[in-house]
Amino acid sequence: MPTREKNVEAAQWFADGPSAVEVVDLTLPENNIYGENVFGPAAQRARLPKAVYRKLQATIERGAELDPSIADAVASAMKDWALAKGATHYTHWFQPLTGSTAEKHDSFFGPTGDGTSLAEFSGKELIQAEPDASSFPTGGIRATFEARGYTAWDPTSPAFILENPNGATLCIPTAFMSWTGEALDNKIPLLRSMEALSASALKALALFGDDESQRVFTTVGAEQEYFLIDEQYFYARPDLINTGRTLYGAKPPKGHELDDHYFGSIPERVLAYMMEVERELARLGVPIKTRHNEVAPGQYEVAPIFESSNVGADHQHLVMQTLQKVARSYGLVCLLHEKPFAGVNGSGKHNNWSMGTDTGHNLLEPGDTPHDNLQFLFFAAAVIRAVDKYAGLLRATVATAGQDHRLGANEAPPAIISVYLGGEIQKVMEACASGKAMRSTPRSFLGLGTPVLPSMPLHAGDRNRTSPFAFTGNKFEFRALGSNQELGLPNTILNTIVAESIDHLSAELKRKLGKRGATLEKSVIEVVRETYREHGRVVFDGDGYSEAWHKEAEKRGLLNLRTTPDALPQFITASTVQVFSKYKVLDKRELQARYEVYVEQYITKVNIEAETAANMARTLILPAALRQIALAEAAGIETITEEIASVTEEFFTRLNALEKANANHPHGTPIKHAIYMRDTVLTAMVDLRETGDALEGLIADDLWPLPKYQEMLFVR
């Protein structure tokens, strides 16, 4: 089929197709679908005995130890609820160190001996299961000859139903550990870090006279960016199938230079898809709030409301899974790679993080006059110190092969970790540091020049999209995460380093309060002053993309870990091991295992890309180039023949160089291997792509074997 006809076919979509959702009256209670597939508080209250329900809620809300005696009752109620939803199987749904989820399905039904079957599900089956730990990345913790591992029920994250055209499955969120007790997932460290931060924050709050708060929660809301392309383009591109990104592709005449896609009118096919995604996520209790076009053509965003860090991390997996699953119903494929298309906007995931008490107080809420809000100044200073002291570790949490194509580009923060506070908060902090009294600016209003439009409240600070770690009103936005990244690891790191920092500031505050004549206000200001003087170097409110900032950051002594091999060793530094061991979040062996897993994943992913690029070059691009040369020769036009032949010869030379580089990997330490992949293999890939993209502009459209950017990005 000619290229243009393929494009016309790809653009065909009819709103009355099989995926169309009937419009219903949403004011009627029976049409409220939110959480209908979740065994949450409402379903628990309806099906559990009151005493069992209260004990379960104590575990969920207050972190009380789970009472094993209630397990059978919960399991029985959960089974009956799931059977009523059509579920024939259950699974312990867990998060190994693969970046995605894992599941093994077991039937509720077992034979009774009289030719029939009976549905059974015990508390023992709810609490624990036994997958093969050696089949997942473990960094050497579990080998094939010592394979046993366990999954353990996490009651703080509600069970849910995943539906399939042929049935349904009860999914039970669980932790994943080795037979010897090491964490092999991202849930266990996250839960440990949440406990650590809560304990540290409560001790600090006691110094402020707060004797009501019993628990401090960390919350997260992640803005998810993604691309959509027609599925026939996806399956015609081996690079997208194997690596998630295009290894070849010339820049199209139009990208996002006109800024016409961002917040633009959403195409009908895409909007229908978004609505179904939101409907499915609503049934799973995921609180989606916004949807819109992103900067690049073909790029979109969805964002939820804040939730507990643990539940939010679980829900992010469901968001990614649902985005990809529903896309197929619309003839689309959802791309979650951080940089699927070179030269246009990449996709990130902004991790909005905050802390709040069980009494409803946000510890990062400045109030109308932040200079008077001693608690805010204290906790904000603790975060600033944590980010400065552990900047390299924060950078390591977002280090992947895909991120190296995105971080530092025009749409993503630089690899230098810095904090943006906003003008008003920064002025207050600097006043504290200088010892000068300064009143914060009274709330003002932005006049719009016409009485028709109302005056608008002026925010205390602007937004800085070039900042990796920005304060945005009552939370910090860690903007450096990649689109396909799970939330467990970055939030585990954040919780742990902030817990350490809070403890450090609390010790200083307690010491100062012990002095004669000390007051709380004076002591807090002194602690904030000393902290900001020592760690304020990490605060920056300018253009993070500018070369001037790179020079300034170097002068300040800030790390600039440009690539993944530069960043990953931060997982095993002495300071990292010390802080994670102190707070019992990850021990030395667990940290070493993660380091080894992430280094191996980097090497493997780059190797897959290199082999795919070479294979595409030999079997797709070279044959097309040779056909074009033959066409030019047949026409007798020597200049055209020479031009194409010259570029083709260079392409073949660079292909040989890539194949040679990828065939001679060094036998050294894993990190040396990773550096080789970065400096030698990736460099050869970049060179080969440069020539391949040049050939795309020389070869006839009907001979070029791959869908082009202008088709993938714009055909909807």
657: left (phi over 0), alpha (psi -120 to 50) or beta: alpha
The tens digit of pLDDT for each residue in 549-580 reads 999 999 999 999 999 999 999 999 999 999 99
- The secondary structure of 698-710 as a DSSP string is TS-TTT--S--HH
Residue 265 sits in the same domain as residue 353? yes
Which tens digit of pLDDT belongs to each residue from 589-609?
999 999 999 999 999 999 999
Residue 445: band (very low, low, confident or very high) from pLDDT cuts 50, 70, 90:
low
CATH number of 163's domain: 3.10.20.70
92 occurs within a structural domain? yes
Residues 311 and 428 in one domain: yes
Domain termination residue (choose one: 145, 166, 184): 184
pLDDT at 303 (0 to 100): 93
Domain boundary among 184, 206, 224: 184
Q: How many residues does the chain have?
A: 716
CATH of residue 416: 3.30.590.10
- 699: in domain: yes
Q: 164 and 273 in one domain?
A: no
Provide the pLDDT for residue 179: 84
- Residues 562 and 646 reside in one and the same domain: no
Answer yes or no: is pLDDT of 117 > 90: no
Which of 121-125, 198-202, 413-417, 604-608 comes out lowest in average pLDDT? 413-417
Residue 370: both structure tokens together: 């932040």
- Output DSSP code: residue 294: -
Judgement on whether residues 170 and 301 belong to the same structural domain of the protein: no
The pLDDT of residue 10 is 72
Cα–Cα distance, 214 to 524 (Å, whole number)? 22
Percent above pLDDT 70 for the chain: 92
pLDDT the model gives residue 618: 97
Co-location of 466 and 342 in the same domain: yes
Q: Report which listed range, 65-69, 357-361, 404-408, 465-469, is most confident.
A: 357-361
Relative to beta strand 419-420, strand 469-471 is: parallel
Residue 12 lies in a domain: no
| Bridge partners of residue 293, in order along the sequence | 300
Check whether residue 207 and residue 245 sit in a common domain: yes
Q: Are the C-beta atoms of residues 416 and 559 closer than 8 Å to each other?
A: yes
Mean pLDDT of 106-119: 79
Q: Is residue 594 part of a domain?
A: no
Mean pLDDT, all residues of the chain = 90
pLDDT given for residue 408 in this prediction: 64
For residue 208, report the phi and psi dihedrals to the nearest 5 degrees: -90, 5
Predicted model pTM = 0.93
Q: Is residue 489 part of a domain?
A: yes
**One domain, residues 350 and 418:** yes
Q: What is the pLDDT of residues 267-283, one digit of tens each?
A: 999 999 999 999 999 99
Domain annotation covers residue 357? yes
Per-residue pLDDT tens digits for 648-706: 999 999 999 999 999 989 988 999 999 999 999 999 999 999 999 999 999 999 999 99
pLDDT tens digits, 7-64? 777 777 777 655 566 777 777 877 789 999 999 999 999 999 999 999 999 888 877 7
Query: 291: pLDDT confidence band, cut at 50, 70 and 90?
Result: very high
Q: Are residues 111 and 215 in the same domain?
A: no
Q: Count the domains in the chain.
A: 3
Helix (H, G, I), strand (E, B) or coil at 694: helix
Q: Which residue has the higher pLDDT, 614 or 407?
A: 614
pLDDT of residue 473: 85
Range of the domain at 46: 33-184
What is the three-class DSSP state of 40?
A: coil
What mean pLDDT is predicted for residues 421-438? Answer: 82
Which alpha helices (DSSP H) does 559-637 contain, by range? 564-567, 574-582, 588-616, 622-635
Mean pLDDT of 210-221: 95
Tell me whether residue 5 is in a domain.
no
Please check whether residue 7 lies inside any domain of the structure.
no
Query: Which of residues 559, 586, 613 is at a domain's end?
Result: 586
pLDDT band, very low/low/confident/very high, at 477 (cuts 50, 70, 90): very high
H or E element: which one contains 93? strand 87-93
